[in-house]
Structure 1
Amino acid sequence: MADKPTRISGKATKCKAKKDSTSDWEFSKSTIRERNEKMFNNELLSDIHFIVGPLGASKRIPAHKYVLAIGSSVFFAMFNGDLAENKEEIHIPDVEPKAFLALLRYLYCDEVCLEADTVLATLYASKKYIVPYLAHACVEFLETSLSYRNACVLLSQSCLFEDEDLTQRCWEVIDAQTELSLKAEGFTDVDGKTLRSIVCRESLSVNETAVFDAANRWAEAECIRNNVEPTGKNKREALKDSLFLLRIPTMSLQEFADGPATSDLLTKEEIIQIFVWYSATTKPELTFPTEHRRGLTPHCCHRFQSTAYRSNQWRYRGRCDSIRFMADKRVFIAGYGLYGSSTGAANYKAHIKLSQNGKVLSEETAGFFSDGCSKTFSVWFKHSVQCEPGIFYTASAILDGNELSYFGQEGLSEVVCDGITIQFQCSSDSTNGTGVQGGQIPELIFYY
């Protein structure tokens, strides 16, 4: 998350004014906004006070009923009508003082001031008092910092606040970068309901061993939070029915033997029953799902309209093929499609890389077999890479293998693929001739 506050403020007419004083400050403020800003967190003319925050860490904040009532229907009902509270002080123990001040700043000054460490609390306050624009600004702020590192934690919070947009964005990251999201430090801090929603998710793109390991770590953390020893029995009680949403039988026999079978989460009866399930012709019924997760379907953006072959092209000799691209929506690059040998079957070793402004985001070395046809061959990153909209990234590949291969022609500078618009530009990193019009890296493979 960004460390600096984000400020969005309305325009005010500048004027030459005398220095503010208690008696003449009204004359130095040329707009209503400026005069309201003077009243923000000010005892002057205040007719209500809020005691904000939990006992022992609360703060007394002055306010003005009129300003609050015209900015929030909740405050309007609080101060007017049949249910109006006739109190000089109102206690709000469930809102952080900094978040409440951010809410008031918006109501008084038409200014959004968000900070990374208080944005979730501000979102909660804006939801509680039905201030939709501020809530939307909080969600936008969170989306700009959303990554696998905080996706599960933000998912938990978005469900609590019933924010469907943020929830959807979190799921996009978790589905495309499941293993990284589950291994993130904050994963063990999610609540039990969120854990259950994750482990039962059909579209996770991950080996089931990673889901099992994550659930085991969460159970240990939950035991510690409850001040009980993290024994197998206590972890099972912490997981409740989430344990039986783990698709343990979809692991390989070796993965099961090295993981769940040697953990303390399963009973001896369950371990024996699953071993029998692996080997028996007539399989016993299990309490664990036996179907693999569906996962995500990768999308493939093909940027050439034709494929060519000439006797003296395309050669490699250790040189780099690169192309720049930019999508109009957030995508997760999973790999590239590459051309193979144009002179019969051959093995290749490909070093692929994704970078942005010279910073390497991911790189992978993998082999593929080309059967000599003009189709593309997929080379994948270990983990898909999150790419933000409106930003150019560079896809690169260095191939080692048969010198002569197919290459693309009639390249497009813009391709619409399954609702995603991707623009292409030539890259200065390309030392082997690849560009927009022709060359290698014919395909971007991505999730979204």
Structure 2
Amino acid sequence: METCAPDEYFQALNHAEQTFKKMENYLRHKQLCDVVLVAGDRKIPAHRLVLSSVSDYFAAMFTNDLREAKQDEIKMEGVDPNALWALVQYAYTGHLELKEDNIESLLSTACLLQLSQVVEACCRFLMKQLHPSNCLGIRSFADAQGCTDLHKVAHNYTLENFLEVIKNQEFLLLPASEIVKLLGSDDLNIPSEETILNALLSWVRHEMESRQEELSKLLPFIRLPLLAPQAAKPFTPTQRARNVIGYGDEHTEMPINKIKGISLQS
């Protein structure tokens, strides 16, 4: 009676790793490449299959009936060439070096290519870099890239360290709309209401001509009853706003009725 060999299941060790190493070798030697990414003056050969397996952006481009699916060269407008090359290499190796001088270009490019793991790694890197001198810039950058977690962390850091943040150039360069978001927060960590007043006046003085018109919109964010009597004195109906911010006679005075319209509710 003949005996039958039992069925066996074989699984190659490190199969995926070895396969990707081979594909990376093809990339470096520009072999079997079927697409060229063009960023600025740089041309980056690659393999559609690899790009599509890692990036939802490329997957949508190459698997749908889009014009780019049939093109040999794909122009990547507005993309940093070095960041693109680093992320193409990442697609083959899973490795990426994050540095202060490349983190923003990597993050913006990763957001475009929909590389979620890279986006998360870049955001974590920037969270560790938060400082009173850069938190507003990181906050703005996160908002522009749609990185909500990073934006929230940077925003909260700004509120918590507001006393140090207002000493830096980034604060003075903020548009009025962002000043409103900061001064209007109930989580603003300040020793006294005078901190807000002094920060606001420093911001106005930085660009006096263009910002004096914004003062009437921003003054309501100062809770006058919490100011020390001497600090609150310029806001009485008998005073003029120019006395607070140092206007000379040559500057337009703020109408008194606007001062009267300030809410006195805390």
Match of 1:262 among 198, 219, 244: 244
Is the Cα contact below 8 Å between 2:52 and 2:59 reproduced in 1?
A: yes
Q: Secondary structure at the match of 2:97?
A: strand
Partner of 1:49: 36
Question: Are residues 174 and 97 of structure 1, via their aligned partners in 2, closer, same or farther at CA, if it must alter by over 3 Å?
Answer: same
Q: Are 2:134 and 1:150 aligned?
A: yes
- The two structures have a TM-score, normalised by structure 2, of 0.73
One-letter code aligned to 2:53? I
Partner of 2:222: 247
**What is the distance in 1 between the residues matched to 2:201 and 2:29?**
51
Is the Cα contact below 8 Å between 1:216 and 1:235 reproduced in 2?
A: no
Is the Cα contact below 8 Å between 2:134 and 2:170 reproduced in 1?
A: yes
Query: Structure 1 residues 101-110 or 134-143, which shifts more?
Result: 101-110
- Larger RCO (alpha carbons 8 Å, 6+ apart): 1
**What is the distance in 2 between the residues matched to 1:291 and 1:117?**
47
Partner of 2:122: 138
**What is the distance in 1 between the residues matched to 2:112 and 2:45?**
19
Is the Cα contact below 8 Å between 1:156 and 1:190 reproduced in 2?
A: no
Partner of 2:103: 119
CA shift, 1:33, in A, is 3.0
Cα deviations by residue, 1:28-72 (Å, 9 ceiling, x for unpaired)? xx812322333456643332222325xxxx533322211111111
One-letter code aligned to 1:255? A
Cα deviations by residue, 1:184-225 (Å, 9 ceiling, x for unpaired)? 23334556554432232221122444445545555676xxxx
One-letter code aligned to 2:22? R
What 5-or-longer segments of structure 2 have no aligned partner?
1-12, 235-240
% same residue? 21
- The two structures have a TM-score, normalised by structure 1, of 0.46
Partner of 2:54: 71
Is the Cα contact below 8 Å between 2:204 and 2:215 reproduced in 1?
A: no
Q: Secondary structure at the match of 2:54?
A: coil
Q: Are 2:190 and 1:197 aligned?
A: no
**What is the distance in 2 between the residues matched to 1:170 and 1:113?**
23
What 5-or-longer segments of structure 1 have no aligned partner?
1-11, 14-29, 222-229, 275-283, 293-448
Question: Are residues 98 and 291 of structure 1, via their aligned partners in 2, closer, same or farther at CA, if it must alter by over 3 Å?
Answer: farther
Aligned residues: 240
**What is the distance in 1 between the residues matched to 2:161 and 2:129?**
15
Matches within 5 A, 1:158-177: 158-177=142-161
CA shift, 1:178, in A, is 0.9
Partner of 2:211: 235
